[in-house]
């Protein structure tokens, strides 16, 4: 009787070890590294005549900045903003690099 109990316990342990081995040993995963940065770019300027942009006429420099920062600028200013984004870069600075990881099951 003791032999049968021993065999049953041995088989249970064997099954448990085999299950753990199959689940974790030989397991492969894919690991990706992602990078993100904060970028500050200064582009060449465009000189405009405020007579061509009556919505800006009479505003201070800081008020013009606030106006341009609004998302609902009119089409005329939208074209100006597009032109500015295509100007050559005078200076840029990349800071705050962060790394993170993605892990998924491999094949």
- Give me the pLDDT at residue 71, please: 67
User: By residue range, what is the domain housing residue 44?
Assistant: 29-105
**What's the domain count of the chain?**
1
- Looking at the domain assignment, is residue 17 inside a domain? no
| pTM recorded for the entire structure | 0.51
Asked, for residue 19, whether it belongs to a domain, the answer is no
Domain-embedded: residue 77: yes
pLDDT given at position 91: 92
pLDDT digits (tens, 9 = 90+) for 13-35: 877 777 776 667 777 888 999 99
Low-confidence ranges of the chain (pLDDT < 50): none
DSSP-assigned states of every residue in 43-95 = E------GGG-TTTTT--HHHHHHHHHSTT--HHHHHHHHHHHTSPEEEEEEE
Residue 40 within a domain: yes
Residue 60 domain flag: yes
């Amino acid at each position: 009787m003791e032999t049968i109990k021993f065999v049953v316990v041995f088989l249970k342990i064997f099954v448990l070890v085999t299950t753990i081995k199959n689940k974790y040993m030989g397991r492969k995963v894919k690991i990706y590294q992602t990078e993100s940065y904060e970028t500050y770019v200064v582009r060449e300027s465009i000189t405009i005549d405020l007579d061509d942009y009556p919505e800006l006429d009479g505003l201070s420099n800081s008020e013009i900045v606030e106006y341009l920062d609004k998302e609902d600028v009119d089409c005329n200013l939208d074209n100006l903003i597009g032109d500015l984004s295509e100007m050559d870069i005078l200076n840029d600075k990349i800071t705050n690099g962060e790394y993170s990881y993605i892990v998924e099951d491999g094949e």
